[in-house]
């Protein structure tokens, strides 16, 4: 049975997950992270993808990004991988694949969930036990949003700009948002959606996606359809 194409809509934010094959390490030292980020930055610009948040961890990459067309996300990830994998293999004397099959995508309902997804991305190293705070982890977009330095890869979403009228106000508001962390229900919802390629949004958002894309988004009802019993003697 053929795999269903990824659900990608232009000008809509998406979470993207790319893991190492069998969860193997894909970044071993600082140079690895820097090289991948450089190629990702070039490819995002080339294929007109706005990256709003990112984190690179030893065995996975998570992005929050908005493509300008239906092909941009796939082209960006493929091109970055075609640069990085041969370089990584040559550096470490290995061969073969590095990434685990296709990357996953999860469409995001921006207004209620974009900032929550950004927080999920940048808080991931803390959840994974890689750092005590998001700011202590170097390979994410958190320092950019917190005003520590400017990251050329990041394109701030308008909802981030809506956090304040000045850079200081936006940075302070976002820092407070991330420092609050997130509840287990929110984390599980976003994490499950990302792992399975489900949209992150309300029931109404998913229903509208079904209507717009002609694809099943909402869970199918379980069991057989209810059958109304016909009274004895009545015509069927």
pLDDT at 182: 84
Residue with tokens 């997804």: 117
pLDDT at residue 235 in the model: 43
| Secondary structure class of 64 (helix, strand, coil) | strand
**How does DSSP classify residue 136?**
G
Q: How far apart are CA 48 and CA 154, in angstroms?
A: 12
Domain boundaries, the chain: 14-212
Distance CA 40, CA 61 (A): 11
Tens of pLDDT, residues 27-70: 999 999 999 999 999 999 999 999 999 999 999 999 999 999 99
Cα–Cα dist 71/213, whole Å: 16
Cβ neighbours of residue 81 under 8 Å, at least 6 residues apart? 18, 98, 99
At 225 the pLDDT is 46
- Which stretches does DSSP call E strand in the chain? 14-19, 49-57, 60-67, 104-107
Which residues 6+ apart lie within 8 Å of 99 measured at CB? 18, 19, 20, 21, 26, 81, 85
Q: Whole-angstrom Cα distance, residue 157 to residue 111?
A: 11
Distances (CA, A) of 92 to 6, 28, 88, 189: 32, 10, 6, 37
Residue-wise pLDDT tens digits, 162-185? 999 999 999 999 999 998 888 888
C-alpha span between 1 and 177 (Å, rounded): 43
Grouped pLDDT means (10 residues each) for the chain, 236 residues? 72 96 95 98 98 98 97 96 97 94 92 95 96 96 96 97 96 94 88 90 86 73 47 45
pTM to 2 decimal places: 0.88
Task: Among 2.70.98.10, 3.30.70.1290, 3.90.650.10, 3.40.640.10, name the CATH number for the domain at 14-212.
Answer: 3.30.70.1290
């Amino acid at each position: 049975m053929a795999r269903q194409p990824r659900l990608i809509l232009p000008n809509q934010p998406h979470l993207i997950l790319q893991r190492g094959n069998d969860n193997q390490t894909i970044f071993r030292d600082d140079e690895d992270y820097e090289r991948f980020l450089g190629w990702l930055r070039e490819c995002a610009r080339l294929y007109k993808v706005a990256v709003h948040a990112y984190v690179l961890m030893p065995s996975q990459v998570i992005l929050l990004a908005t493509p300008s067309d239906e092909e941009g996300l796939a082209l960006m990830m493929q091109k970055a991988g075609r640069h990085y994998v041969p370089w990584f293999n040559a550096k470490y004397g290995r061969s073969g694949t590095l990434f685990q099959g296709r990357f996953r995508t999860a469409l995001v309902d921006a207004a209620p969930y974009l900032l929550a997804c950004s927080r999920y991305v940048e808080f991931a190293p803390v959840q994974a036990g890689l750092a005590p705070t998001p700011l202590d982890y170097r390979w994410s977009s958190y320092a950019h949003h917190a005003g520590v330095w400017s990251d050329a890869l990041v394109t701030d979403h308008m909802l981030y700009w809506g956090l304040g009228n000045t850079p200081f106000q936006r940075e302070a508001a976002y820092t407070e948002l991330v420092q609050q962390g997130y509840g287990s229900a929110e984390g599980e919802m976003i994490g499950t959606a990302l792992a399975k390629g489900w949209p992150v949004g309300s029931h109404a958002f998913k229903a509208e996606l079904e209507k717009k894309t002609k694809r099943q988004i909402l869970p199918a009802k379980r069991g057989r359809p209810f059958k109304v019993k016909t009274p004895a003697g009545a015509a069927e």
